[in-house]
Structure formats: C-alpha cells, structure tokens
Amino acid sequence: MRGESCTGKTRTAFEAVRACLQGWQLVFPKNTERLLALLDADALAPRTVLWLNEAHNYLSGIGAEEAAAALHSRLEEPGPVVVLGTLWPEYHRTLTATPEYGMDAHPNVRAMLDPVRPLDVPTSFTTTALGNPLVASDPSLATAATTSTGGRITQTLAAGPQLVDHYQQATSHNPYSHAVITVAMDARRLGHTSPLPAELLRAAAPGYLTDQQRAAADPDTWFAHALAYAQEKVRGVVAALEPVADPEGMGALPDIYRLSDYLDHHSRAIRRRAFPPDSFWTAAREHAASTADLEALAEAADHRGHHRIAADLYQRAADAGGTGALLELAWRRGRTGDLDGAEQLYRRAINAGDTAALTELAQLRQRAGDLDGAERLAQRAADAGDTGPLVELAWRRGEAGDFDGAERLAQRAADAGNINALVRLAWRREEAGDLDGAERLAQQAADSGGREALLRLARLRKRASTPKRESD
C-alpha cells in the first residue's frame, strides 16, 4: 500500500486482511533484526500474513539488505504467504531508483520491490465519496469532512486530536505559543476570515498571559519561539498555524498565517462563550487584514453586548473606507436622533459608490417628513437597480391616503422592473371595494408583466357577479 503520511494505508491494509484472510495468523516483527530472526528460523508458516507497516523501517539502514534477500528467498518457497507492507511514495522512489554505476546501496531491496505493483492510496476523498450519507451520520467523519482541505479527511482523523493536544500542552511548557494560537482561534471564530497578520497575533497575545508569564518573556525572542511551535507539523501532516501561498507567485506570503481548520472547529466549542481581552480588540483595530474583517469583528462584539468596542471598530473600518461600517454608524446616529450626523455618513457611503446608502438615506428623509427629498433619493436608488425605496414610498403614501402619489411612484418602480407596488395597490383598492381602481392598477401591472394581478381581479369579479344560492 503506497501513499502519503496519514492517508489511511494501514487501515486499508487492515480492512483487506480482515475481509480476505480470516483465519490466517499474523506476524508483526518490530524491527529489521526481528524480521531477520523470523526468516532465519523459517517461522513464516503457510497461511501467514507478514505485516510490515512503514516498510521503509525494515528496508533501509543496518540489516536491510540481508533482510530483503531472506524475504525474497522465502517468497520463492511454497505458501500460501502474504507479505503486506505500507510505504510512502518518496521511500518507494528512493528504494527502486536505478543507481549510478558502482553506487548501488540496496540491490536486494530493489530486486525484491521491482516486481511489485503498489496499490496507491489517494491523499484525498472525492466529492462523491464525501457526499455519502454515512459520512454525515458519523460525528467523527462529519467533523473531519467539514474541517479538512481538499477532502483530506484521513489526515485530519489521524492528526486532529494530536493537534489539539499539541495546543493544550503548550499551556504549561510554551504559554506564549498557546496565547498566539488562542488569538488566532478567537479571531477566526469572531469573523476575521482573511489570513492572519503576524502583527495582530503578536499585539494581542499579551492579554492572554499572566503577569508572571509576561515578565518572564524575552522581548526579542518570545514571539519567534511561539510561532515556531505553532508551525510545527504534528505527525508530519498539519500545524496549528499554516503558511499562506503567494497568490501571484511561488512561496508563502511573509508574516501571514492561516489557522488549522480543525483547531478552528475545536475553538468554536471550547471558547464559544469566551470574550477576548482588551489586547485582542486593540490589536484587531490596528492590524486586521481588511475593512470586512473589522466590520465582522465589530458585529461580533456588538452581539455580545460590548457596544463601545463595536463602535470603535466600526469607526476604524469607516475611516479605512469600509462602506458597510459607514452604514452601520449612520444607522446608529439615526437611532439616537442625530439625523444630520447620520445623513453625512450616508452621503459618504453614497460618494463611495454604495447604492444601499441611497436606500437608507431615502428612508431617513422619509422619517424626517421630507417626502420630496426621499423621492429623489429613491429614484436614484432605482436608477442604480434598487427599486425597494420607491415601492416603500408608494406603500406609505397609499397608507396616508395619497393614492395619486402612490400610483405615480408605483408606476416608476414598475418602469424600473418592479411591479410589486402596483400589485399591492391594486389589492388595497380591491379590499376597499374600489374594483374599478383595482382593475386599472391591475391592468398597469399586467402591462408591466404582472398577469397574476389581472387573474386575481377576474376571479374576484366572477365571484361578485355569481348569484348566491339559497343554501348560501
């Protein structure tokens, strides 16, 4: 069985033996010396499986050539005997490569392996395989499927728990790395979806440490050592913090990291109710990767009742050009009655090209009683593709009894592709008993593509013109 680390080679071999060779005995020598002793004693009886897990441990180093020769000889004798091994591709290439003249380090190993056709165990599962209902029904598989990159669920199953242990053990012997990884966990679960800048990790970490731990830290080396531990590959498969590939070239982006998906999933359980220290929010304000990340973190703080922190982050995002933050701050100003301040922020967002701000400002003008101003903004929003404000204004004018104004706005919305206001006004007239007015609006809606308004009206007229039976 040939495959990369933690791809399921051993499990595949185990399942094959269990399915096909029940009743056979199994021999598992612990090293090359034990393998040689087994072969020298001719103890490999018929109906025996010789299990060579991680076969490179037997086929390289001291005694490997002698063991390979003895094993090759045994395979030429009567059986049945099965020799079942697992091997990494890199070791298979090395052990079977054609040597340079006069420099053949393992001729017996190569002679034994050359006739063998390996069964390759893929590094990842296909989308079809992951869609099997059995995956979703098993908690471990389901977790692995959602936290693995590119379908590499066996690697996650093999190294995920060990990665969690690697993180937890750092509490005592490397608290600085534990703090750095926890910062990354908090950032991810609270909405920082971009790769994490090293400066954010460095600036936030002190708040996760005790006074004694901070005092004991070497100012020049603590962060480098913390990063080194966080980047150690567990089982050679995964690290807590992974490098991020340069999207425009080769290599990794400098001082940018991505949290392991498995630890991200783990943190959402163990730190679900944890609120980060002040150092985290200060670091996020100064070093978050994008305005979208700032806005997401602000929303997370707001939902947890920390409104001052949220406002500070929204302000930082707005200052950096985040139109979503401008809208949020404007909405907050409007709620407190500061309509002028809210309008200034909405107009900043509009000038930055955010058409949603047109809608918000139209509603603000409407609430302030400036219907003409609201109408002008609603038309601009409709010209930009959002007819919602026109529909809302039409509905509100209809509620206020201004049916002429409502119909005018509704028709403008219909001209822009939204017949909803016409349909709603037709229903309102219908409910008020004004069938002629309802018919006229329904016809306008039909002319704009809304046949269902006419059909509803036709059914209503049919019911109105049908004489009632005595039983009714």
Q: What is the pLDDT of residues 390-403, one digit of tens each?
A: 777 776 776 667 77
Residue 391 resides in a domain: yes
Residue 387 and residue 448 in one domain: yes
Residue 50 resides in a domain: yes
Buried b (16+ CB within 10 A) or exposed e, 97-135: eeeeeeeeebebbbebbeeeeeeebebbbeeeebeeeeb
Residue 78 and residue 187 in one domain: no
Q: Which two tokens stand for residue 45?
A: 């009886």
Q: Which residue has the higher pLDDT, 212 or 123?
A: 212
Q: What is the pLDDT of residue 300?
A: 92
Distance of CA 377 to the CA centre of its chain: 38
Residue 74 resides in a domain: yes
Q: Where are the alpha helices (DSSP H) in 352-450?
A: 356-367, 371-383, 388-399, 403-415, 420-431, 435-447
Q: DSSP for 443-470, please give it.
A: HHHHHTT-HHHHHHHHHHHHHHHSPPPT
Q: What is the pLDDT of residue 453?
A: 56
The residue type of 45 is A
Are 371 and 382 within 8 A, CB to CB?
no
Residue 220 resides in a domain: yes
Where are any strands of DSSP class E within 152-233? 196-197
Q: How confident is the model at residue 370 (pLDDT cuts 50, 70, 90)?
A: low
Q: What is the pLDDT of residue 358?
A: 63
What are 302-352's pLDDT values in tens digits?
A: 999 999 999 899 889 888 877 777 777 777 776 666 666 676 767 777 666
Are 136 and 86 within 8 A, CB to CB?
no
Residue 149 and residue 108 in one domain: no
The residue type of 288 is A
Q: Which two tokens stand for residue 457?
A: 């009206």
Residue 165 and residue 283 in one domain: yes
Residue 194 and residue 52 in one domain: no
Residue 225 and residue 105 in one domain: no
**Mean residue pLDDT across the chain:** 83
Domain around 34: 9-113
Residue 74 and residue 165 in one domain: no
Q: Which residue has the higher pLDDT, 395 or 225?
A: 225
From the list 24, 98, 94, 38, the residue with the least C-alpha distance to 71 is: 38
For residues 380, 385, 388 and 393, what is the CA-based torsion angle, rounded to 10 degrees?
30
Residue 312 resides in a domain: no
Residue 274 and residue 159 in one domain: yes
Q: What is the pTM of this model?
A: 0.62
From the list 268, 261, 331, 265, the residue with the least C-alpha distance to 295 is: 331
Residue 145 and residue 95 in one domain: no
Residue 156 and residue 253 in one domain: yes
Q: What is the CATH number of the domain that holds 417?
A: 1.25.40
Residue 120 resides in a domain: no
Most confident of 17-26, 263-272, 406-415: 17-26
Residue 33 resides in a domain: yes
Tell me the percentage of the chain whose pLDDT exceeds 90.
36
Q: What is the pLDDT of residue 468?
A: 47
Q: Which two tokens stand for residue 385?
A: 């593709």
Q: What is the pLDDT of residue 94?
A: 87
Residue 34 and residue 103 in one domain: yes
Residue ending a domain, among 266, 289, 312, is 289
Q: Which two tokens stand for residue 41?
A: 């004693």
Prior bond of 118 cis (ω within 30°): no
Does position 270 have pLDDT exceeding 70, yes or no?
A: yes
Q: Where are the alpha helices (DSSP H) in 254-338?
A: 261-270, 278-287, 291-303, 307-319, 323-335
Residue 92 and residue 153 in one domain: no
Residue 60 resides in a domain: yes
Q: Which residue has the higher pLDDT, 435 or 54?
A: 54
Instruction: Tally the domains of the chain.
Output: 3
d(CA 31, CA 141): 33
d(CA 392, CA 87): 68
Three-state DSSP state, 47: coil
